[in-house]
Structure 1
């Protein structure tokens, strides 16, 4: 499901941790870099607060993101790409990410970025499908 806010959210058939584990596996096999994995629920626990399972993975490849920053360097605020796995109040798990097209619109990227934006969009769709068990 895609909202007007540039965020795509897909239901996962796995737990939050399993979804992010699988995403790490998929992006690593594709030669992408994993820059950080953040467990927001663990952070909340560390300060005595409750939060349903929520993990963020930051990943990418300079070959994909650099053309966007060459076009408009400020696009780097949204790069590398991120995916957030989270559990809702009903216990369903979701994986959300910003669309590459939203990043392009947000930063007023020009024609020089089109190929890279399309490559990122296709790549995100594929890795998210594999990580959520939606694509085999």
Structure 2
């Protein structure tokens, strides 16, 4: 599901923790590097708050992202790429940014726009591969 805010959300078909692990494995299999896993739920608990399972996976490949950043340095605020894995009732969701949103937000053209499209295609494949792995 695409929305007007430049986000795409798809449904996962496994338990939350397995989905996060599967996303990280798919990122690595696609030739990208997982830079971090940010467990927002764990951080909320440490702050004395509650939050349904929510983890942000940051990943990238400098040969792709650098073209986007080189064209418009502000693009670095949105890189590395991210996949948000979150629990929505009984469902697990995966959310990521669209290339169009990155292009509009940073006003990139040429190599930066091509890099944004490459990143979205890779992110979409990672999410779809993760969602489909439960069905295989």
TM-score w.r.t. structure 2 length?
Answer: 0.92
Q: 2:26 matched to which residue of 1?
A: 26
Runs of 4+ residues deviating >3 angstroms: none
2:104 equivalent in structure 1: 105
Distance 1:46 1:104 in 2: 36
What root-mean-square deviation, in Å, do the aligned CA atoms of Structure 1 and Structure 2 show? 1.5
Distance in 2, Cα, partners of 1:41 & 1:113: 33
**Residue deviations 1:11-50, cap 9 Å, x none?**
1101221111001111112221111101111111112211
Asked if the contact 2:64/2:115 (under 8 Å) is kept, the reply is: yes
Counterpart of 1:41 in structure 2 is 41
Residues 1:59 and 2:59 are matched in the alignment: yes
TM-score, with length taken from structure 1? 0.92
Structure 1 stretches of 5 or more lacking a match? none
How many pairs align?
Answer: 135
Cα distance in 2 for residues equivalent to 1:26 and 1:39: 18
CA distance in 1, matches of 2:111, 2:128: 28
1:117 to partner: Cα distance: 2.1
Does the Cα contact within 8 Å between 1:14 and 1:133 map onto a contact in 2? no
